[in-house]
Homo-oligomer: A and B are copies of this chain.
Amino acid sequence: MLMALREVTFDDVCAAGGRIAEHIHRTPVLTSELLDQIAGAHLFFKCENFQKTGSFKIRGATNAVLSLSEEDARHGVVTHSSGNHAAALARAAQRRGIPAWIVMPSNAPAVKKAAVEAYGGQISECEPTLAARESTAQELLRRTGAQMIHPYDNRNVIAGQGTAAMELLEDVADLDFILAPVSGGGLLSGTAIAAKAMNPKIRVIGCEPKNADDAFRSMASGKLEPAAKAQTIADGLRATLCPLTFSILRDRVDQIETVTEDEIVSAMRALWGRLKIVVEPSGAVAAGPALLGRFGAAKCARVGIILSGGNVDLSQLPF
A-side residues, CB < 8 A to B, are 28, 30, 33, 49-50, 52, 54, 269, 272-273, 275-279, 310, 314-315, 317, 319
Q: List 11 A-B contacts (CB under 8 A).
A: A28-B28, A30-B50, A49-B276, A50-B276, A269-B314, A273-B314, A276-B277, A277-B277, A278-B278, A314-B317, A314-B319
Give the complex CA separation of A136 and B272 in angstroms. Answer: 35
Give the complex CA separation of A269 and B278 in angstroms. Answer: 11
Which partner residue on chain B sits nearest A280 by CB separation? B276
* Chain B residue contacts of A276, Cβ below 8 A: 49-50, 54, 277-279, 310
How many copies of this chain does the complex contain? Answer: 2
Give the complex CA separation of A314 and B319 in angstroms. Answer: 7
Give the complex CA separation of A136 and B184 in angstroms. Answer: 60
Which partner residue on chain B sits nearest A52 by CB separation? B33
Q: Pick from A50, A272, A278 the residue with the most CB of B within 10 Å.
A: A278
Give the complex CA separation of A269 and B279 in angstroms. Answer: 14
* Chain B residue contacts of A273, Cβ below 8 A: 278, 314
**CB-CB nearest 10 A-B residue pairs:** A276-B310, A276-B278, A49-B276, A272-B278, A314-B319, A277-B277, A28-B28, A50-B276, A315-B319, A273-B314
Q: Pick from A30, A269, A310 the residue with the most CB of B within 10 Å.
A: A310
* Chain B residue contacts of A49, Cβ below 8 A: 276
Closest Cβ–Cβ distance, residue A233 to chain B (whole Å): 16
Give the complex CA separation of A49 and B30 in angstroms. Answer: 13
* Chain B residue contacts of A319, Cβ below 8 A: 314-315
Give the complex CA separation of A277 and B272 in angstroms. Answer: 8
Closest Cβ–Cβ distance, residue A270 to chain B (whole Å): 10
Closest Cβ–Cβ distance, residue A144 to chain B (whole Å): 28
Closest Cβ–Cβ distance, residue A43 to chain B (whole Å): 15
Give the complex CA separation of A50 and B272 in angstroms. Answer: 11
Whether A272 contacts B314 in the complex (CB less than 8 A), given A277-B277, A277-B278, A278-B278, comes out as yes
Closest Cβ–Cβ distance, residue A271 to chain B (whole Å): 9
Q: Pick from A30, A276, A319 the residue with the most CB of B within 10 Å.
A: A276
* Chain B residue contacts of A310, Cβ below 8 A: 276
Beyond A276-B277, A278-B278, 12 additional contacts (C-beta under 8 Å) are: A28-B28, A49-B276, A50-B276, A269-B314, A272-B278, A272-B314, A273-B278, A273-B314, A276-B278, A276-B310, A277-B277, A315-B319
Which partner residue on chain B sits nearest A31 by CB separation? B25
Which partner residue on chain B sits nearest A54 by CB separation? B276
* Chain B residue contacts of A33, Cβ below 8 A: 52
* Chain B residue contacts of A278, Cβ below 8 A: 272-273, 276-278
Which partner residue on chain B sits nearest A50 by CB separation? B276
Closest Cβ–Cβ distance, residue A277 to chain B (whole Å): 6
* Chain B residue contacts of A272, Cβ below 8 A: 278, 314
Which partner residue on chain B sits nearest A118 by CB separation? B34
* Chain B residue contacts of A50, Cβ below 8 A: 30, 275-276
